[in-house]
Amino acid sequence: MSTFPDQFRLVGRTALVTGSGRGLGWEMVKALAEAGARVLLHGRLAERLAPRVAELRRSGYAADAVVFEMADRPAMREALTGAGPVDVLIHNVGERDRRPFAEIEPEDFARLIDVDLSAAHALIRLVVPGMIKQGWGRLILVSSIAGQLAVPGASSYIAAKAGLAALARALAAELGASGITTNALSPGFFGTETNADLMVSPMGERQRQRCPAKRWARPEEIAGAALFLASPAASYVNGHTLVVDGGVSATYLA
CA separation for the pair 235, 222 (Å, rounded) = 19
Does residue 45 contact residue 241 with C-beta atoms inside 8 Å?
no
In angstroms and rounded to an integer, the radius of gyration of the C-alpha atoms of the chain is: 18
CA separation for the pair 145, 188 (Å, rounded) = 6
Does residue 121 contact residue 167 with C-beta atoms inside 8 Å?
yes
Residue 108: partners with Cβ closer than 8 Å, 6 or more residues away: 97, 156
pLDDT tens figures, 27-76: 999 999 999 999 999 999 999 999 999 999 999 999 999 999 999 999 99
Q: Read off the DSSP letter of residue 190.
A: B
In the annotation, is 157 catalytic? yes
pLDDT of residue 94: 85
Count of CB atoms situated within 10 Å of the CB of 167: 21
- Whether the per-residue pLDDT at 108 is higher than 60: the answer is yes
pLDDT of residue 2: 75
- Whether the per-residue pLDDT at 85 is higher than 90: the answer is yes
Average pLDDT, integer, range 153-171: 94
CA separation for the pair 13, 148 (Å, rounded) = 32
pLDDT of residue 118: 96
Q: What fold characterizes domain 8-244? A: Rossmann fold (3.40.50)
Helical axes 46-58 vs 23-34, angle rounded to 10°: 30
pLDDT of residue 213: 94
Mean pLDDT taken over the chain: 94
CA separation for the pair 166, 183 (Å, rounded) = 10
pLDDT of residue 254: 55
Its pTM stands at: 0.95
pLDDT tens figures, 194-206: 888 888 898 889 9
**In which band, very low, low, confident or very high, does the pLDDT at 1 lie, cut at 50, 70 and 90?**
low
CA separation for the pair 244, 222 (Å, rounded) = 7
